[in-house]
Amino acid sequence: MALIRAYNLTLYMRVELNPNPCFECGQCCQHFRVSFYHAEIEGNGVGIVPAKLTTKISEHLACMKGTEKGGAPCIALTHNKEEGWRCSIYEDRPSPCREFNILNEDGTPNSDCLKLQQVAKQKKALLSQI
């Protein structure tokens, strides 16, 4: 709810915000291999990513389970009709997830995100025909 003050008169206005498009998409979590430095795993220095949700790739790299080969959903990705797509470990997610944003630093749309949103729309359209 937004508060506007004008001429000592307080007006209240209801503001409807657009829902976060990530909640309707989830494609980045279903498309990319989420690999990261092993120190990000809990128990390794300052790591916070739950170890039980990771797969060791090499001596120094791990990835989120489910994303080992790319093109499959991350084990931490959840979905329900009320909330849409969510990360079950959002506060403890690895660096690639923290760094992948819907917008670039200059405020322009992330082209990879836009491509994945198109994929999501196409999938949704195909599924609605079944």
Q: For residues 22 and 76, which has the higher predicted lDDT (pLDDT)?
A: 76
pLDDT tens digits, one per residue of 72-120: 999 999 999 888 999 999 999 999 999 999 999 999 999 999 998 888 8
How far does Cα 95 stand from its chain's mean position? 12
Tell whether the model's pLDDT for residue 22 goes beyond 90. Answer: no
| Residue 98 tokens, joined | 């923290």
Tell whether the model's pLDDT for residue 49 goes beyond 90. Answer: yes
Q: What ranges make up the beta strands (E) of 1-130?
A: 2-6, 9-13, 35-37, 54-56, 61-64, 77-80, 84-87
Torsion, CA 72, CA 100, CA 88, CA 115, rounded to 10: -50
Tell whether the model's pLDDT for residue 8 goes beyond 50. Answer: no
Q: What does the pLDDT read at residue 45?
A: 77
Q: Band of the pLDDT at 20, cuts 50, 70, 90?
A: confident
> Can you tell me the distance from the alpha carbon of 65 to that of 54, in angstroms, rounded to the nearest whole number?
5
Q: What does the pLDDT read at residue 7?
A: 47
DSSP 71: S
Say if residues 23 and 111 touch (Cβ distance below 8 Å): no
> Can you tell me the distance from the alpha carbon of 71 to that of 54, in angstroms, rounded to the nearest whole number?
16
Distances (CA, A) of 77 to 25, 27, 74, 86, 99: 11, 10, 5, 6, 17
Domain segments of the chain as ranges? 21-128
